[in-house]
Amino acid sequence: MDYAGIAAAILGAVFFYKGAEQEHRSPVVWVGLSVLASGVLMFGLHKGFWWILLAQFVLAIAIALWRMWRETPAGDAKDVNNS
């Protein structure tokens, strides 16, 4: 059993829980995505510590990009059609 991978999954879940609380978002969604990614890697693909860390890092970037995209006000976006 890969205890380092399990530790990385737990630390990732804690990181996303605290991040969601700080951003006033639902921790269930962020932790759920973290646990899902870790579970797929550990049990489905039989990957270990480094893959789980990479998945947590990619998930953090994906959440940041999603939030930047969703929270950009429509008036701030440049209108390409009416130059």
- Segment 20-71, tens digit of pLDDT: 888 888 889 889 989 999 989 888 888 888 989 999 999 999 988 888 887 7
pTM value > 0.75? no
Radius of gyration in angstroms for the set of CA atoms belonging to the chain, rounded to a whole number = 16
Rounded to a whole number of angstroms, the distance between the first and last alpha carbons of the chain is: 59
DSSP 40: I
Instruction: Kindly indicate the confidence band of residue 81, based on its pLDDT and cuts at 50, 70 and 90.
Output: low
- Amino acid residing at 63: I
Tokens of 39: 């579970």
Q: Where along the chain do its domains lie?
A: 3-70
Rounded CA-CA distance 19/4 in Å is 22
pLDDT of residue 71: 75
Average pLDDT over residues 71-76: 64
